[in-house]
Structure 1
Amino acid sequence: MSDDNSNLVAVQADDIELEGELIIPEGAEGLVVFAHGAGSSRHSPRNNFVAESLRERGLGTLLFDLLTEQEDLHRASRFDIDLLTRRLDAATEWLRGRDDAVDLRLGYFGSSTGAAAALRAAARRDDIAAVVSRGGRVDLATDQLPSVTAPTLCIVGGDDQQVLALNRQALGRLDAEKNLHVVPGAGHLFEGTGELEEVATVAGEWFQRHLSGEQYE
């Protein structure tokens, strides 16, 4: 499927510019903003794989760097969840100011520490229609979880036992629609055959369900 509106963008957040890629297929009703994990970037091969799968379903995607190159050199910045949350929230505001995205239903896809930022940002906002966490450090958003109203799907590898336990605990604090999808035998990075494809499929179904116009007719 070809992309009808693809461009590199400078995302305005925290009075700085962050590099990103915004792709909105023609006729899209929803758009998913990606929040990558520590040590990763908008070039994450796993997130780009999922993003391409979402675009094949007719959803827009925004992948952007949560940190500048200089900030990313410091471990403390990579794990500064308050900073990452603020950047994600500001990027969402920037997106809402664009003519091509102002009317789209928004979702967040967060990986590892990015999932904590996604849930924290979703707790602050009333315009996030769905959240998907992949191998998420959802424990880093514990206090904000009761304020999340967006339907939330947590995807965790069956062999990623510590993260799986944290996600099960987190689900107990979520009052919104929620679900846990365990990929059997998968580790934290979903590197086994077919594992990332399963992530993309279940995430796509979740977003398609909650970001499509059918939910609002």
Structure 2
Amino acid sequence: MDEQRSTVTIPVGDVQLPADLMLPAQPIGVVLFAHGSGSSRHSPRNVAVARTLNGRGLGTVLVDLLTPTEDEVDARTAELRFDIGLLATRLAGIVDWLAVERPAGDVPIGLFGASTGAAAALVAAASRADRVGAVVSRGGRPDLAGAALAQVRTPTLLLVGGLDEEVIALNEQALAELGEVGELRVVPGATHLFEERGTLDQVADHAGTWFTTHLSRTTAPSHRS
């Protein structure tokens, strides 16, 4: 499969955010990744999942939601990585950029969030219901999305490791708020980071099926002025 790889800088508000794009020749959709606390767009787990999605005909966008300067501050204080409002606002801005600039073409958009990035993805999905067609959370903290959970209208898959008991409980609470748009799947034998053999492959497979199924039912995003 012919693929186009590129690194771009995406303007969001008053910042410029670096992102890695991987686009199959004829993508059926594009998935924007929101990494977890203390991670980056180079996260090996997210990169591995992205490769699986690419193989299913989905474009992927892995982006750093903090600028290099902000990341240096966050490395000392660990405050910005938990600023769900800030991260969600930037994700929503990137969704808008994808819809207007259309680097993947006029295709549906999905969000993949890990850890705290999952909360930001859900808040962004709630604010961009007309543009986001599916959400997947990996070992996420969807509970941190707060009141936005009840406003999500986008099909959302919550993936949690079977040995990650505390996070399972938090995801069950979030699932109750999501209602009928949410689904929780537990990956047996997996801890929080899905480091056990074969468990990340299961995450990628679940995510790929979720996105190809739900994005195929979604019309391309509308264009706001």
Q: Is the structural similarity TM-score above 0.5?
A: yes
Residues 101/47 of structure 1: CA separation in 2 closer, same or farther (3 Å cut): same
Alpha-carbon distance in structure 2 between the residues aligned to 1:110 and 1:196: 14
Q: Which moved more, 1:155-164 or 1:5-14?
A: 5-14
8 Å contact from structure 1 (residues 149, 176) kept in 2:
no
Alpha-carbon distance in structure 2 between the residues aligned to 1:44 and 1:176: 31
Equivalent position of 1:87 in the other structure: 90
> Which structure 2 segments of 5+ residues have no match?
220-225
Alpha-carbon distance in structure 1 between the residues aligned to 2:188 and 2:210: 19
8 Å contact from structure 2 (residues 2, 25) kept in 1:
no
The SS at the match of 2:66 is coil
Question: How many percent identity over aligned positions?
Answer: 53
Q: Which moved more, 1:28-37 or 1:177-186?
A: 177-186
Residues 129/76 of structure 1: CA separation in 2 closer, same or farther (3 Å cut): same
Residue 148 of structure 2 is aligned with which of 144, 147, 154?
144
Alpha-carbon distance in structure 2 between the residues aligned to 1:99 and 1:196: 30
Residue 165 of structure 1 is aligned with which of 144, 166, 169?
169
Equivalent position of 2:113 in the other structure: 110
Alpha-carbon distance in structure 1 between the residues aligned to 2:103 and 2:67: 25
Give 2:110's aligned amino acid.
G
8 Å contact from structure 2 (residues 118, 141) kept in 1:
yes
Alpha-carbon distance in structure 1 between the residues aligned to 2:179 and 2:153: 7
Equivalent position of 1:39 in the other structure: 38
8 Å contact from structure 2 (residues 95, 131) kept in 1:
no
Equivalent position of 2:206 in the other structure: 202
The SS at the match of 1:41 is coil
Give 1:158's aligned amino acid.
G
Alpha-carbon distance in structure 2 between the residues aligned to 1:141 and 1:189: 20
Deviation at 1:175, TM superposition (A): 3.1
Give 2:71's aligned amino acid.
D
Deviation at 1:69, TM superposition (A): 1.6
8 Å contact from structure 1 (residues 152, 176) kept in 2:
no
Q: How many residues align?
A: 214
Tell whether 2:54 aligns with 1:55: yes
* CA deviation profile, 1:100-120 (whole Å, cap 9, x unmatched): 345210000000000000000
The SS at the match of 1:162 is helix
Alpha-carbon distance in structure 2 between the residues aligned to 1:31 and 1:168: 28
Equivalent position of 2:181 in the other structure: 177
Deviation at 1:99, TM superposition (A): 3.7
Give 1:122's aligned amino acid.
A
- TM-score, normalised on structure 2? 0.91
Deviation at 1:176, TM superposition (A): 4.3
Alpha-carbon distance in structure 1 between the residues aligned to 2:171 and 2:43: 22
Equivalent position of 1:119 in the other structure: 122
Q: Which moved more, 1:140-149 or 1:108-117?
A: 140-149
- TM-score, normalised on structure 1? 0.94
Give 2:35's aligned amino acid.
H
Q: Which runs of 4+ in 1 moved over 3 A?
A: 99-102
The SS at the match of 1:90 is helix
